[in-house]
Structure 1
Amino acid sequence: MEQNALLARLDRLESIDEIRQLAGKYSLSLDMRDLDAHVNLFAEDIRVGREKTGRAHLKAWVDDTLRDQFHGTSHHLGQHLIEFTDPDHAVGVVYSKNEHETGPEWVTMQMLYWDDYERMQGRWYFRRRLPCYWYASDLNKPPIGTQKMRWPGRAPYAGTFHDLFPSWTEFWANRPDKDQLPQVASAAPVEQFLATLRRGAGAPKIRVR
């Protein structure tokens, strides 16, 4: 019994490291335009849009996006939280600060990814990456105010950085009484920190522009 528990813990540590490597490989392969290496980080039957599946469709979509919008990019990863739903499935949140050479502007972006990971035939893959943007704006134009997504040639629009987590809206809607100590909720259970922040909502769905 102890040996099985030890093996399970070792498997968990190795899985965490492989998933974090997966996120790093995503950024490097994207920035260096190795699209074969990039799409092979995803499940073979990855969904692309509403009607298409497979790495070939993903490669075509990424190719078009990069050629049409960006000359150069650099993705800088921040904190990476990973929680397992079972030994072969996990979810994660990855912060990313990105730079883009796009037309006449140098656009910086702050975002996070909500990820779903799946282990198949002994290897971890992205099952889905959901990008949630806070801002994108020219280096010399701080994104103060609303409508923080500001790409050259496009009308500004709001990002979805805070949309996954009800705490953002709750914080601004409920100002505590300064004369009373606030109540503190119980700590999130192990492997349930992200689910607790999501308030138990199901798989997130956000329209990506």
Structure 2
Amino acid sequence: MRSLTPEARLDRLESIEEIRQLAGKYSLSLDMRDLDAHVNLFAPDIRVGKDRVGREHFKAWQDDTLRGQFTGTSHHLGQHIIEFIDADHATGVVYSKNEHECGAEWVIMQMLYWDDYERIDGRWYFRRRLPCYWYATDLNKPPIGDMKMRWPGREPYGGTFHDLFPSWKEFWAARPDKESLPQVAPPAPLEQFLATMRRGTPAPRIRVR
């Protein structure tokens, strides 16, 4: 922000706060099942699947999903990192710890969202939310081991919590030389912390719950 004009700096700070509010509104509207409030947080031409576009299609998809899997949900937000591509486009990462009532089981989940944000006609919207899951399991069954996505009535499967960032696999594949200090890469450029951590990797393919 150092090279921005005072007006642009103020706009950037206001944009950051509006985007953070966007994430909070997403959780509240989803948990309270206000689907009109929910879908209006997304761009009007939001893409739903391969060949459907628009909030109406998104609302229909959300309705089917929520009625078919959960009685109730609660989404608890954690840290939120936001970086700007330009004045009207940004990306972000939001941690979320969630609870789901699924019949006789109470499923807890740890995940993060990779977000694309866009300002349209003066307001910020989600352009895309990519959910990346670490685990989902009954409250009384810690998800130790592999295949941590464990929904009632389904075969366990792996999440994509770490797939956005190559550092996870690199860390476990490395064998540090204990005889010398490790090298440290230069700090990421301003507004490129997330992009530097991603290292140009493609977004993972997300399995629908």
Per the normalisation by structure 1, the TM-score is 0.96
Matching of residues 75-94 of structure 1 within 5 Å: 75-94=75-94
User: How much does 1:137 deviate?
Assistant: 0.2
Tell me the number of residue pairs that the alignment of Structure 1 and Structure 2 aligns. 206
Cα offsets for 1:150-201 (capped at 9, x unmatched): 0000000000000000000000011211111000000000000000000133
Q: Is the 8 A contact 1:195 1:201 kept in 2?
A: no
Which residue does 1:123 correspond to in 2? 123
Alignment of 1:110 with 2:110, yes or no, is: yes
Letter of the 1:33 partner, please give it: R
Letter of the 2:20 partner, please give it: R
Secondary structure of the 1:178 match is coil
Which residue does 1:148 correspond to in 2? 148
Letter of the 2:118 partner, please give it: E
User: How much does 1:42 deviate?
Assistant: 0.2
Cα offsets for 1:75-132 (capped at 9, x unmatched): 0000000000000000000000000001110000000000000000000000000000
In structure 1, stretches of 5+ residues that fail to align are none
Letter of the 2:6 partner, please give it: L
In structure 2, stretches of 5+ residues that fail to align are none
Q: Which runs of 4+ in 1 moved over 6 A?
A: none
Which residue does 1:172 correspond to in 2? 172
Secondary structure of the 1:169 match is helix
Letter of the 1:108 partner, please give it: I
Which residue does 2:139 correspond to in 1? 139
Matching of residues 165-204 of structure 1 within 5 Å: 165-201=165-201, 204=203
Which residue does 1:40 correspond to in 2? 40
C-alpha distance in 2 between matches for 1:37 and 1:125: 12
User: How much does 1:207 deviate?
Assistant: 2.7
C-alpha distance in 2 between matches for 1:46 and 1:18: 19
Q: Is the 8 A contact 1:130 1:206 kept in 2?
A: no
Alignment of 1:207 with 2:173, yes or no, is: no
Secondary structure of the 1:145 match is coil
Letter of the 2:206 partner, please give it: R
Q: Is the 8 A contact 1:115 1:130 kept in 2?
A: yes
User: How much does 1:144 deviate?
Assistant: 0.3
C-alpha distance in 2 between matches for 1:69 and 1:139: 17
Q: Is the 8 A contact 1:73 1:101 kept in 2?
A: yes
Identity of aligned residues (%): 78
C-alpha distance in 1 between matches for 2:175 and 2:131: 30
Which residue does 2:58 correspond to in 1? 58
C-alpha distance in 2 between matches for 1:76 and 1:141: 20
Secondary structure of the 1:168 match is helix
After superposing the two structures, state which structure 1 stretch, 4-13 or 146-155, moved more. Answer: 4-13
C-alpha distance in 1 between matches for 2:27 and 2:195: 26
Which residue does 1:17 correspond to in 2? 17
